[in-house]
Structure formats: structure tokens, C-alpha cells
Structure 1
């Protein structure tokens, strides 16, 4: 098998920034990492800037990208935002979703994201009718990721109710939510079981929320994921109203309800985990359940600031997501997690640059079932992201502080190269597979307007 060598001008190798690193790749894997390569070896592909493992976006709703700008007008709450979101979801078809997701995933690649966790719940046609292929919408997303050159974990989402009613039943889905619902989690499991993994795509599960899956049906989703050793994600305590409703119906918090029904564990990730009690934090950390923070969405929707420091100290690994895609920039998500905590605590320095990069790379990939990605080391998938160190934002600091410069000042606009499985997807800031990403986004979003 042919060996391709990449020469990294500066490389983040788990804890340190190293100058002059040569990385050999065979197929889609790294086979050797050689430090102190002061000059590029003959024939090497040169990546100038700081190269880190490919970034992981652990929580995405691709169709929310069509809301950018629209939902920034006026005021409101999460619940008023949701009505605008439903209007866009109503207009999606497999073809229009493929076109939009292809452009969104290309935007992610331009931002250095090599793997996306797509929390997918728009399963059926408007009104709830099944397409000829009951997984047509999910297949559109898997194909879109391939077309954009990124990896995907399709987190196929159980969403069968519109709210809490009792332990056995939930409220009937409203007219918008009918296309999200399979009726029962048993029917959801039957449908999702026919999805097939591919080299670039893995299949996981999600519980939309305790609002959307009745308590007695939570175990069906948890058992499906456990039997396949697949990742399981869940929106958790994003809103105080969710907590209040859960206490009113079940007499406990959503976290306790999930614990009681076997949902928590090391392959599970709670998304947001914003409004938690001390007991909730102990349950999540003690079970090694992960936490995916989405700071740009949480601030855009005025959700609140989650207790990320306390969760990590309790044992909950942190990952990052762009969620509603108010922006797509994992560097900003990482920076915002730290800066939000500074605003709340009035102290600085809760995470080092290394800790933030780990959340953005290795721990994000682990949350999505790609434990073989997220590191620059032999045996790992050859996914690399290179961020410029000579832009107006990142120029100046000495090389040993390159990670700090990138994490606290760099943006997605500073990404120069994205390599996925040893293949250049973004080269010198241009996407190799989707030549005009802004136009693709414009056309895809326009197709969903009234």
C-alpha cells in the first residue's frame, strides 16, 4: 500500500506543541509519527500552521442551518424559536435535505470538522406518512456526509410524543411532530435496525428528550443501543420547563428518570445538561455519562450556562457541538465553554488549551463511537485539521503557545487544511469536493423558503 507523508509545521500531540512532525499514512490510517523533522521529507505534503487531530462536532441538526439570520430577528424564548424551526422541518424532502446537509457538512469541513454527530429526527413525510424507503431522510444525510468528505454518526432519534402525560403514555404528537414519530419505540427500533454502517458512517441512537419518549419506552431505545454497543445521545434538561413537567408527572428530575430506566452509562451522552441538581451531576458523573456542551446555541436560545466544570469533576467527559448552527465553529464552542464559566464564576482558567482541544477532538470522537479517531498517533484514523498561525487573529504568539493562540483567538476562518482518512478535503481554505460552498448553502436554504 502506498505511503503518503504529511509534514506538520507545528503539531499538537496530545499535550504539547511540537515543531516539524512527519506523519506517514497508509490507506486511511496513520502508521508513523516522527518528531524533529526540521524540513519536509522529499515528496511530503506540507501543512503550515498548527495541525491538530480532526475536530468532532458531537451535536448537529443539519436543517437548523436554514434558520440562521431568521431566528435572530426580534425577541422570544426557546419555545417561540421552536415554532420557526417546525416551519422549516415541514418543508424538507429527501432531496432538499440532501442538498442542504451536503452544503452544511461542507461548511463543517471548512471549519476543520472531520466527524459530525447528526441528531436526526425528521424521519417521515409531512403528516407522518412513510416514504417508500422508511429511512430515506437518514440515507440522505449519510450520502451528504460522503459527498462533503466527512465522517458521520447518524444518531437516529426516537421521538414519539409531544410531552409528558404519565409513565405509560405521552401526549400525542402535534401536526409538525407527526413526521418525527414512529408511533412507538418498538417501531422506531424496527426501522432503525435496517440502517447499514459504511466506512464513513456509523449508526447510533438518540432519545430526543424525556418529553418525547414516555418513561416506559425509554428502555427500548437504551436496550437497542446497548445490544449494538452504539452511542446513545439525549437532550437533557435544556429547559427548566422540562424539569418542572418531569417532576410533576414522575416526581423526579429527567436525569433521575433516565437513570431509573437504564439510559445512563459510558456510551451515553447528555446534550446540554444545563439545569441540573447536585444529585443529577453525581448520577451523570458516577455513571461516566458524557456531556455535550453547545455554547453558541445555548446562548443564542437563552437556555443558560450548564455546570460543565462540576460535571467533568464528577466524571462526565466533555464534548462540543454546534447544534442549531447559529455558527459552525468548534474553536468558538471550546472558547465559549471556558468564557461562559468565567462570567458565571468570576474566575479564569477552568480549562487549559489542551483540555479544550481534547473535548474538541478525542472526547468528541469517543462520544460518537469513533474511538479510533481524535489523535495524531500510529493506528489512528488519518484525520487532521490545520489552523493558520499567520492570520490577523493568530499571528504573534511564540510557537509553544500556538494552541492557546488558536483556542482563544482563532476561528473557523483560520482553518487552512482538513484531511479525512488521509485525503485532502479542504486545501488552502478551499473545499475540494464542493467548490462553491456559499452558493450551495444559499441555494439549499432558498429552496426551503415559503
Structure 2
């Protein structure tokens, strides 16, 4: 039988219901939403603010183990950037076992849930044994992450990565052999993972190309054709334009900037997510926005790596879609990522409320930055993950996050300013309860498997960090 919740304040696409009544079926799908209590039905009261769960559109789960471990310089690496950080990452990759991978993944996914994310797009590229040999089960490492998501209850869009070269015209480095596939072997892995969906109802499978540095144009086209044959609606992700170094390498090797090359040679559409897209020229901003593809922004990672500023204001003004990811997991906070996105641009442009634009049709209407940031990231994340959530409306998967109105950041706030307070206010986490597909996986901030997940991670790190 379905369950009806009376939510004190319920987020809706065009505002709030106070209270709102949401009916959820046994299949985890929202049956109805209303501002009127359903007659002759018992209801469960939920105090606080009910908002949809966000999809985290870009994650490398294993990199959580590096957070806080590369913040130093030496005379040998006085100039530190993404490429010097990558050497530290490769050293850790060489030691990772499947058990490590699952333990790290479970902790990361637990953190995501506790901060109000209900699904993740896992950009997964550590496929093989050290040295490049195959596991007895070629999907071993993928299966470990799927198991970690299942243990926590997080929805997952698995994005196995095609990674074939160490740069344009360059062979793979020794560590990168753990990442590499031929196109044919890669498509076999995709088919294997598609078969896993029968046992994992919150699992989706898409395709990721590591970057235009790591796959050739012919490999891009062959992989896309194979993916379309397996699943015509699959989500397609790729790293692009994260650094000026990458832009220069692709321009020199392929004759165009990365996003422009994709626009001209592949044809982008709403099934694409371009991760980072940090360095865009005017033509790329217009083309990416018009294509309907999602820009996958990872503000905290991009900041910690020193990548540069995404042209947020120009891209948003052009109607471009974006969502957020936590990438290398310097944090798992929805609010912290969106705060960095907005406030980074405020610092650069030296003005406030850069994402919000006045409503010309309603001159007196207040347009709130928190609401714009949340709703845009909500739509972009769902588009990139295709998880079926993305809104507390009938027919969507019931992914709901309850924010505690008594928490310090939200204390004294009502619906009009609550998202501003959460995203741009104090650092305390107001997420109290989290539902995924109709099931409560976080209650009062806690997960039933939390102690075991923390202990497994602690043991893993004791072995990895010597």
C-alpha cells in the first residue's frame, strides 16, 4: 500500500507547498502531490523542509583516499598543479585492491547521502590489476562500486571509462594500464554491467570517454556507435577543457579546442555531460548552451586543483544546463559545492548574486540565488544521471531530503530564504533524513551501516598510507 507524508514545507518546481502531501507507492515512485490532505488516509508528519535529492554528476570514488594528503610542496615540486597531483594519485592507484575500492566507495557514498545527494554518476576507470592484467571477473572493480552503492542505498549511474592512450599520440604510462581497454573489450564490459541492472533497481549504466587526450577520434566514434546499439538513450560523459594545458594539447593534435571539436565532429545533445568545461571561448559557450548538453561542474575540486573559473554568468545567460559533482571528494556537501561555484565568481567579478537574474516580467519579484543554484543543479544532475528523480512531482522516483528547520543555518528561515541559508549560509549540515526510491536510508543524520563502513575505510587507509 502507498504511504502519505505531510511535509511541513515541500519544494515544488514553481515554489513551495506549506504543508505539502506526497503519496509514495510501494514501487518507490511518487503517486501524487497536493496541498490538500487526502481524505480518509493516515499520514506521517515530517517537520522541516522537504527538497528533492540531487544527483552528483561526477565522482571518482577512490580519490577520496587522497583528500588532505597532497597539500604540500617540496623543492622537487615547488610549482604544484593538476599534473603533479596526478603523480600522487597514480602512486595510490598502484596499491588499490578490489576490497580497498569497495571500502572507499562505501564511505564516499555514505557521505553523499548524509549531505543530501541521492544518486551518483561514477566515472570509473580503475578496471584492471596493477600492470594491466585482467581480473578473473573483468567487471570486478565495477562490481565493487555497485556493491558499495547498494550497501548504502545510493542510486548509481555507472559510467565505465574508455581510456586508451596517455595523451594525443602518446603511449600509456605504466600505471595507466590499469585503466585501458580496446573499444571491443570496453563494449563487452558495458554489456556485462547492463545485465547487472536486473539485480540492482537503482542502477543505471552509461558511457564515459576519459578525454579527447585519451581516446582517438576513431575510437570515440566506434565506442559511441557500440553504446547506441546497446542502449540508444544512454548518458554519455567526457572530461573536457579542465586546464589550459589540455585545451592546447587538443587544439594542437586535433585542430580545434575540445568543446568545439565535439560540437563540429560528434554533435552534442541532451544525453551528453561535459565534465569541467572550465576553459571555453565565446563560440564554445554559445554552442554548448544551445546543444542542450550539461556542463558538469565540480567547484571544490576545480578550486583545489587550481583549474580556473568556469564562465558561469555567460553560460547561464545563454540558457546552458549545468549540474554539480564532487569529483575528487575534497568534500561531499551539496551546499559547499554550490557555494564555491557562486562565491568564486563573486570574488572574480567583485559583485554579489551573480547567478540570479531579475524577472523582467515581474519587476518586484525577488529572484534568490540559492533557489536558482539548487534548481539548476537539480535539473542538470537528473539530466546527466537519468535516475528518474529530480523533483517531488508525480511519476518521479521518490528521492526526498528533509532539512532540519532547527539546525543553525536554517534557524528562523522560511521557504523563501531556506535555500539561500543552506547553500550560502553557515557550514553546519542541516540534512536530517534522506529517502531514495521511497526508502529512508538516513534517519536523524545516521545510516544503519555507518559504523561498519567507517571501520572498513579505516582499515583500508591504515594499509594504503604507509
Query: Is the shorter-chain TM-score for this pair beyond 0.5, marking a shared fold?
Result: yes
SS of the equivalent of 1:17 reads strand
Rounded to whole Å, the distance in 2 between the matches of 1:448 and 1:44 is 49
SS of the equivalent of 2:411 reads coil
Is the contact between residue 157 and residue 205 of structure 1 (CA under 8 Å) also seen in structure 2?
yes
Residue 22 of structure 1 aligns with which residue? 21
Rounded to whole Å, the distance in 1 between the matches of 2:85 and 2:44 is 45
Residue 125 of structure 2 aligns with which residue? 121
Residue 31 of structure 2 aligns with which residue? 31
Out of 128, 145, 148, the position equivalent to 2:149 is 145
Aligned residues: 441
Is the contact between residue 59 and residue 118 of structure 1 (CA under 8 Å) also seen in structure 2?
yes
Is the contact between residue 103 and residue 453 of structure 2 (CA under 8 Å) also seen in structure 1?
no
What is the CA-CA distance between 1:396 and the residue it aligns to?
2.5
Q: 1:436 to 1:409 in 2, by over 3 A?
A: farther
Instruction: Map 1:22-421; keep pairs closer than 5 Å.
Output: 22-27=21-26, 28-35=28-35, 44-74=43-73, 76-165=80-169, 171-182=170-181, 184-196=182-194, 197=197, 198-227=200-229, 228=231, 229-262=233-266, 264-349=268-353, 350-351=355-356, 352-370=369-387, 372-409=388-425, 411=427, 413-421=429-437
SS of the equivalent of 2:192 reads coil
Instruction: Map 1:403-442; keep pairs closer than 5 Å.
Output: 403-409=419-425, 411=427, 413-435=429-451, 437-442=453-458
Is the contact between residue 246 and residue 254 of structure 1 (CA under 8 Å) also seen in structure 2?
yes
What is the CA-CA distance between 1:193 and the residue it aligns to?
2.1
Alignment gaps of 5+ in structure 2? 357-368
What is the CA-CA distance between 1:207 and the residue it aligns to?
0.9
Is the contact between residue 47 and residue 417 of structure 1 (CA under 8 Å) also seen in structure 2?
no
Q: 1:151 to 1:362 in 2, by over 3 A?
A: same
TM-score with structure 1 length normalisation?
A: 0.93
Residue 361 of structure 2 aligns with which residue? none
Task: Tell me whether 298-307 or 352-361 shows the greater mean CA deviation.
Answer: 352-361
Rounded to whole Å, the distance in 1 between the matches of 2:107 and 2:327 is 16
What is the CA-CA distance between 1:438 and the residue it aligns to?
4.1
Residue 462 of structure 2 aligns with which residue? 446
Rounded to whole Å, the distance in 1 between the matches of 2:285 and 2:414 is 39
Rounded to whole Å, the distance in 1 between the matches of 2:90 and 2:428 is 28
Rounded to whole Å, the distance in 2 between the matches of 1:395 and 1:238 is 38
Is the contact between residue 299 and residue 341 of structure 2 (CA under 8 Å) also seen in structure 1?
yes
Residue 168 of structure 1 aligns with which residue? none
What is the CA-CA distance between 1:404 and the residue it aligns to?
1.9
1:355-391 CA distance string (max 9 Å, x none) = 2112332320111122x21111111111101122222
Rounded to whole Å, the distance in 2 between the matches of 1:213 and 1:335 is 34
Q: 1:360 to 1:99 in 2, by over 3 A?
A: same
Rounded to whole Å, the distance in 1 between the matches of 2:451 and 2:46 is 21
Is the contact between residue 270 and residue 383 of structure 2 (CA under 8 Å) also seen in structure 1?
no
Is the contact between residue 149 and residue 433 of structure 1 (CA under 8 Å) also seen in structure 2?
no
Q: 1:417 to 1:313 in 2, by over 3 A?
A: same
Rounded to whole Å, the distance in 2 between the matches of 1:359 and 1:435 is 34
Rounded to whole Å, the distance in 2 between the matches of 1:256 and 1:364 is 23
Is the contact between residue 398 and residue 435 of structure 2 (CA under 8 Å) also seen in structure 1?
yes
Rounded to whole Å, the distance in 2 between the matches of 1:265 and 1:226 is 14
What is the CA-CA distance between 1:48 and the residue it aligns to?
2.3
What is the CA-CA distance between 1:353 and the residue it aligns to?
2.3
Task: Tell me whether 414-423 or 225-234 shows the greater mean CA deviation.
Answer: 225-234
Rounded to whole Å, the distance in 2 between the matches of 1:101 and 1:310 is 35
Alignment gaps of 5+ in structure 1? 166-170
Rounded to whole Å, the distance in 1 between the matches of 2:312 and 2:415 is 29
Rounded to whole Å, the distance in 2 between the matches of 1:19 and 1:353 is 19
Rounded to whole Å, the distance in 2 between the matches of 1:258 and 1:373 is 28
Residue 365 of structure 2 aligns with which residue? none
Is the contact between residue 157 and residue 207 of structure 1 (CA under 8 Å) also seen in structure 2?
yes
